[in-house]
Structure 1
Amino acid sequence: MGAQQHHGGDVSWRDEAACVGTDPDTFFPGYSDDQPGGWNLQQKLEAIEAEATAKQICRSCPVELDCLNYVLQTVKTPSVDHGIWGGTTPLERQHIRTARVVA
């Protein structure tokens, strides 16, 4: 099978990702059921737990850096940057982007 393409780049590395087959809600907690009034305490706790689980999966992933580079290259707008990619949160990725601009 040929390499998958997304935004003009090769994403065949996804086939090797440790997260293959994992529930997407682990990496994107709460985004499918956001409420206008915000999250309640239970939802926040579940999101924190999901984030920790996702990061643990990422730490064991052979393509963690490919994943991180992919999201840094394809998602440029903080308002649309969601989920755990390459073991990082949107805020952590924003810090990486800022550091790259300063450097």
Structure 2
Amino acid sequence: MIPNLDWLEHAACAGMDPRAFFSIGNHARAQVNSARKVCATCPVREQCASWAIETGESNGVWGGMSQQELRKKRRRFTNRHKTSTTSPKAPA
């Protein structure tokens, strides 16, 4: 099944160089801050963040979140999914 990515057309970053959202080197913090400013104006920020969390994207700024923030949210998302999909154990 192909995921619905129509929201990408409306993203504030549409047409921008994707490298602006993937920090490297000595200026990583400045790059992240610059990317977050673009995300702050984005009308599809929530869809972007959700997509990154659900697909396991581990690099770059997505939905205004840094890599560290994405990892934290992904852990919560994964734990919540594991909890909701496992059936309770029968009493012994």
Contact 2:54 2:74 in 1 (8 A): no
The answer to whether 1:69 aligns with 2:63 is no
Rg comparison, structure with higher value: 2
Match of 1:19 in 2: 13
**Which structure 1 residue ranges, 5 or more long, are not aligned?**
1-6, 31-42
The answer to whether 1:91 aligns with 2:85 is no
Residue type at the aligned position of 1:52:
N
Aligned residue pairs total: 80
Question: Of 9, 19, 23, which residue of structure 1 is paired with 2:3?
Answer: 9
TM superposition score normalised by structure 1: 0.68
Contact 2:36 2:64 in 1 (8 A): yes
Question: Cα deviations across residues 38-66 of structure 1 (Å, max 9, x unaligned)?
Answer: xxxxx32x211110010010011000000
Q: CA offset at residue 98 of structure 1?
A: 2.6
**Which structure 2 residue ranges, 5 or more long, are not aligned?**
84-92
Percent identity between matched residues is 29
Q: Specify the SS of the correspondent of 2:36.
A: helix
The runs of 4+ residues in structure 1 deviating greater than 3 Å are: none
Residue type at the aligned position of 2:13:
C
1:23-102 correspondence to structure 2 within 5 Å: 23-30=17-24, 43-44=25-26, 46-75=27-56, 81-100=58-77, 101=79
The Cα RMSD (Å) is 1.9
Residue type at the aligned position of 1:16:
H
Question: Cα deviations across residues 79-103 of structure 1 (Å, max 9, x unaligned)?
Answer: x610001111121011112333268
TM superposition score normalised by structure 2: 0.76
Q: CA offset at residue 8 of structure 1?
A: 2.5
